[in-house]
Amino acid sequence: MTTNDQDFQFEEATITTIHQAFSQNTLTCTQLVDYYLNRIETLNPILRAVVEVNPDARALAKLADDERDNARGNGAELGALHGVPVLVKDTIGTKDKMGTTAGSYALVGSVVARDATVVEKLRKSGAILLGKASLSEWYKIRSIDHLPNGWCARAGQGVNPYVKSADPCGSSSGSAISVAANLVAVSLGTDTHSSIICPSDHNSAVGLRPTVGLVSRAGVIPISSRQDTVGPICRTVSDCVYVLDAIAGPDPRDEEATTKSSKYIPRGGYKQFLKVDGVRGKRLGIVRHPFVTSLHESTVAQSFEHHLETLRERGATLVDSLEISHIAEILNPHDSGEITAMIADFKHAISKYLNELESSPVRSLAEIIAFNEKNPELEKTNEFGQDGFVEAENMHGNGEEIAKIIEHLEQLCKEGFEKLMKENELDAMVTPGTKAIPVMAIGGYPGITIPAGYDEHGIPFGMLFSGLKGTEPKLIEIGYAFEQATLARKPPLFDSPEWHEDLHIP
């Protein structure tokens, strides 16, 4: 194979441009993996976005190159993500030489019984597992109010690649930082409350939070079966869609949730909804209080109004000044009971997960708590605490109370977001930034955030499109049309004054 990697534009590469280069013999998977490994080696000591690199990455790349050469000779069909490097969050199980630790030293040495279902599907599609992305340790459930966004013991503090002092958000911080900084082609994150949407928004990435159950959670360190979902974080809507097509679908290992939601998957998959005019004829709801009014006269608020005009010009009908019932309560997870329900779910789910591991230094939440107490320097237990763990461990015999909380959350959804969407015949709700996240979280609804600009400090922000369960096709149409109309995303500039002047970017 004759190649010249100088002909290929590595920065901001997409799945489409990668596959075109493969087919034109101007790029090999080995060259692509080497590029990303060099980027990680150079930038990860600063960004702290990757927990560990797959020691077999180069071997897998060589195998992919051989498979491609053989396919050319015999006409064999390759997977939709063949040769595409991907990072998965360090809570997504991989049965290989990498660990699955939630960023915590407590799980170092644990061995999963098998790949998570999403990893099985990625491998089947031909993707290259490049490594494990960092996160807010244990999804912040260890200490929701005190653990910093983007921090975990194993990787350290994740850094926003646009503005060092800016919040990288969490918990899928490493997944978002990595794609934003071109450390990898695409990534997988997980979302219980805000963990795909928020880091994507803050790091100028596209984040797609699927309907709960659309993608299997089997083999993923859990928090809540009611709210957990797995989804792509990428640089473009099309890349997110290609990844979603590869990982969505029913799974007997997560049977109840995936059977219920697999009915939403359209025949022919999701690529068909990548339409430049996808916003035409759509009804978009705008809830100004509190999502817009709280921005006052900021750059973000001004950009939001400009983007609304763009959507209108592209053929959308904007239904303005709507309200969501009980919105103040919904937006406060302590008031709504969401956090209490999550912690109760976690206590049960983590015990089951730990006991299914082939081997592990800890087999219970109590043992994790004890590990953190014995290793305060490693885990910064004195600084960040573990009150969430302790609260979960101390929960006993309150099943009736939790059931009432869940019933209340379901009622908030019916009287709030669902009523708003149905009564106004909306295709999606559009909001700036991340404040609307709890609306989606408590109901298991899907959403997609698209890079929308940068504030007066250079910090990224996005436009969030949210819908009812199973409305991914509409959200993809709207999101792709918005992305193509605005093309707001820009890669971070590591040669700016606030970054090391002597930093060499390969």
Amino acid at 154: R
Phi-psi region of 102 (alpha: psi -120 to 50; beta: other; left: phi over 0): left
Q: What is the DSSP string of 418-446?
A: IHHHHHTT-SEEEEETTTTHHHHHHHT--
CA atoms within 13 A on the CB side of 434: 22
Structure tokens at 292: 């817009």
HSE of 275 in the Cβ direction (CA atoms, 13 Å)? 16
Query: Which residues carry out catalysis?
Result: 89, 171, 195
Q: In a 10 Å sphere around its CB, with 0-12 CB exposed, 13-18 middle and 19+ buried, how is residue 46 labelled? A: middle
- Do residues 344 and 350 lie in contact, with contact meaning Cβ atoms separated by under 8 Å? no
Residue 25: which region, alpha, beta or left (left: phi > 0; alpha: psi -120 to 50)? left
Closest CA to 506 of 48, 6, 63, 2: 6
Tokens describing residue 29: 């998977």
CB of 52 closer than 8 Å to CB of 131? yes
Between CA 129 and CA 496 the distance in angstroms is 31
Cis peptide before 473 (omega within 30 of 0): no
Q: Which of 166, 122, 79 is nearest to 459 (CA)?
A: 166
- Would you mind telling me the total number of residues written for the chain in this entry? 506
For residues 339 and 144, the answer to whether their CB atoms sit within 8 Å is yes
Which residue from 376, 320, 312 is spatially nearest to 105, judged by alpha carbons? Answer: 376
Q: In the block, which residue shows the tokens 């971070």?
A: 492
HSE (side-chain half, CA atoms, 13 Å) at 481: 26
Q: Cα 184 vs. chain centroid, distance in angstroms?
A: 14
**Cβ pair 495, 462 in contact under 8 A:** no
Q: Which two tokens stand for residue 117?
A: 């279902």
Dist. CA 494–CA 506, nearest whole Å:
12
Bridge partners, residue 53, by sequence: 131
- In this structure, the dihedral spanned by the alpha carbons of residues 145, 147, 151 and 153, taken in order and rounded to 10 degrees, is -160
Q: How far is CA 494 from the centre of its chain?
A: 23
